[in-house]
Amino acid sequence: MDITALNSTQVLRTKVLKWMCLCLASLSAVFTYFNIFINDFIVLGVLEAAFSVYCFSVFVLISRTKLKLWQPLSICACVSILVVLGSYLSKMNHALFVWMLALPVLYYLLLGTFWGVVLSASLLLSEGIALWAKNDISPFLTLNLFLNLSFSYVAIWVVAHVFENSRESSYKRLQNLALLDPLTGVGNRLAMNQYFEIELQNKLGLFTMILDLDFFKQVNDKYGHAVGDRVLVAVTQLLNDNLPQGKVFRIGGEEFAIFSPSTTREYAQNYAQQIRRSLEAHEFIIEGYSISITVSIGVVKYQPGDSLKQTIKAADKQLYQAKHNGRNQVMVDTLDGETQLESVC
């Protein structure tokens, strides 16, 4: 599965903003010409010209770099100000106020429910003040026109809110189904890929640990898979309880991966030993059975330029060495590429 599919909201908003910027830049350029040379409305024309240039600049920027919150937020704020200011300054028969009906959809598409609510409410209040502050509001002296415009705006706002809220909820549920291990509730291999490739921007000082429970097949054979599953859940809880930073992933039947960012080698070694000792000392009481397990751990430091596959392969190599040396061991890859066996004491 392509991990970019898990970030579909970001991809959608980037595409919407990109082409909306191009559209708004073109429309603003057209309105600039009309307002300056035909309507003799210099102030609004100059503002629209500046907005056209800004939209085109954002279009170029997001074509080259990752989307940032300030980009859609600034575009929405600018177009809102233009609509409110234009509604106040222009004549009513220019009908510039009708643009307010399209903005709630834009807010929710680009910014989600929180900013959608904030900006939609702000626009409704600002546009209402701007229209009633005009000297010429004769069309709005007709109650029907006022009610139709107001109710249309609220209806579009409600539909946009319900749609975006439902979309976000469905996206989160699908993302959890795709990324979470159904037994233990921690991330799976796909989640590990996303964390390493997308979420973990700075990998300097990152240590990767691969853990494998020793002789876990014997637990399943002796007590049954139901008990074995509960042991895995308890082990996961213990790992999370002993993890001050980083993330735990279940990447196999009884195999786990831990990423510990911004860490020193000494800290990684001590932390791996803490995990090993905690599991060795812990007595799992499940369905009346007292179960003891140990763990073998391979630890490597991230090397600049390495892919996730290379990092996991290096940690697996250390794990294999720990098992070869008798299990219940921590094996750490040293700076010179050799391995260092941590004491089991």
Distance CA 321, CA 298 (A): 8
**Choice among 254, 266, 287, 338 that is catalytic:** 254
Distance CA 215, CA 237 (A): 20
Secondary structure of 43-75 in HEC code, one letter for each residue = HHHHHHHHHHHHHHHHHHHHHHCCCCCHHHHHH
Q: 116 Cβ partners below 8 Å, 6+ apart? A: 104, 107, 108, 160, 161, 164
Q: Select from 275, 289, 268 the least CA-distant residue to 213.
A: 275
Cβ–Cβ under 8 Å, residues 53 and 78: no
Rounded to the nearest 10 degrees, how much is the dihedral formed by the CA atoms of 260, 265, 267, 268? 50
Residue 254 among the catalytic residues: yes
Secondary structure of 129-143 in HEC code, one letter for each residue = HHHHCCCCCHHHHCH
Q: 194 Cβ partners below 8 Å, 6+ apart? A: 3, 6, 7, 179
Handedness of CA 114, 115, 116, 118 (dihedral sign): positive
Cβ–Cβ under 8 Å, residues 187 and 249: yes
Q: 13 Cβ partners below 8 Å, 6+ apart? A: 67, 72, 109, 110, 111
Distance CA 250, CA 259 (A): 12
End-to-end CA distance of the chain: 43
Q: Give me the active site residues, please.
A: 254
